[in-house]
Amino acid sequence: MVDITAETTGKTKDSLIVGAFKAMRPVHWIKNLSLFAAIFLSGAMFEKGRLEMVIWAFISFCLATSATYLFNDILDIKADRLHPTKKFRPVASGSLPVSVAITEAVILAFFSIIIAVFGGLNSLFLSVVVVYLAMQFLYSVGLKNVAILDIIIIAAGFVLRVYAGAFAIDAHLSAWFLLCVISAALFLASGKRRAEINIAQNLNYATRKSLGTYKKELLNSYVTMFGNASWMSWALFTFFESPKASLPFWLTLAELSRTTTIDKLLMSTIPITIFGIMRYESLIFEGKSETPEKLLLTDKSLIIAVGLWILFIYWVLYSGISVSGI
């Protein structure tokens, strides 16, 4: 018997095990690295037991996000089969039967909660996981079709990830950093919808209902607005929350020139942040930002920018040139 789904996608179906793994979308787990933001920026990376807690939180969240991806794929199976790239997803391609996908989603969600409960993580982290699962369920069953609200929910997912990492180790998050996270999340979410509009125009039909409400000019303004808010809020964060330079390093700077006598060392990351946002924004307007996680793994300029950004922050917080972490 001819496999109609395989003929439609033009690709041989994966085995059940491979399909089950691919349906978890492991490449998307890169977004869950945001759980490490709180421990990294608090200067507590090497405090005993803290990193281990965040790693458990990361694993829990990876299982939770994979469960929501599976649930969304099950509901979107018909639309995904018409999409140029989503048609190759295991559920849409037929390599993972719907009944198996449902079972896998339930198991993943269950073990995500089990890890949150018995992995030494506190009740606040568990609450974030439950809220995330509930929010993504509502998103999949209908809220993703409501314009503007869909962008806010996508952005909220990033914010919850950051707070989940903070709750896992009971870390303080600056209001300026929270503003930066919200702005960056809205920037990424708006860019995702902007890229989807390009795809919809090329296919001559909307790949999701909410796209019919959006105008390209409106999304362009969203991207510009949230891009500006992202780097400005990061700049304010580095100004108000940067640790002071240690005395020996400060004296070294003072000997060079009065101009270099500064103690807000995190501000050195501002130019890198601006470059990263400008680069990502250019990719958005080229219609390449539908999958942010792939861009962060494939675009050389973004990889270099992110790498330098992390290195500079590590240098400021962990090399001994500053008095203490944030």
pLDDT tens-digit readout, 143-190: 988 889 999 999 999 999 999 999 999 998 888 999 999 999 999 999
pLDDT grade, residue 326 (50/70/90)?
very low
> What is the number of structural domains in the chain?
2
Mean pLDDT taken over the chain:
85
Residue 4 confidence (pLDDT): 44
| pLDDT > 50? residue 229 | yes
Boundary of a domain, candidates 173, 196, 217: 173
Q: Which of 23, 140, 2, 32 is closest to 86 using CA atoms?
A: 23
Q: Are residues 166 and 19 in the same domain?
A: yes
| pLDDT > 70? residue 137 | yes
What distance in Å separates the CA atoms of residue 40 and residue 31, rounded to the nearest whole number?
15
The pTM (predicted TM-score) of the whole model is 0.85
Average pLDDT over residues 272-289: 88
DSSP secondary structure of 141-188: HTGGGSTTHHHHHHHHHHHHHHHHHHHHHT----HHHHHHHHHHHHHH
What distance in Å separates the CA atoms of residue 109 and residue 61, rounded to the nearest whole number?
9
Q: Are residues 135 and 195 in the same domain?
A: no
In a domain, 245, yes or no: yes
Q: Are residues 195 and 239 in the same domain?
A: yes
What distance in Å separates the CA atoms of residue 231 and residue 273, rounded to the nearest whole number?
6
Average pLDDT over residues 3-7: 47
Tens of pLDDT, residue by residue over 54-78, are 999 999 999 999 999 999 999 988 8
pLDDT grade, residue 6 (50/70/90)?
very low
| pLDDT > 80? residue 254 | no
In a domain, 167, yes or no: yes
- 220: Cα within 13 Å, side-chain hemisphere: 7
Give the domain range for residue 91.
Answer: 14-173
| pLDDT > 70? residue 49 | yes
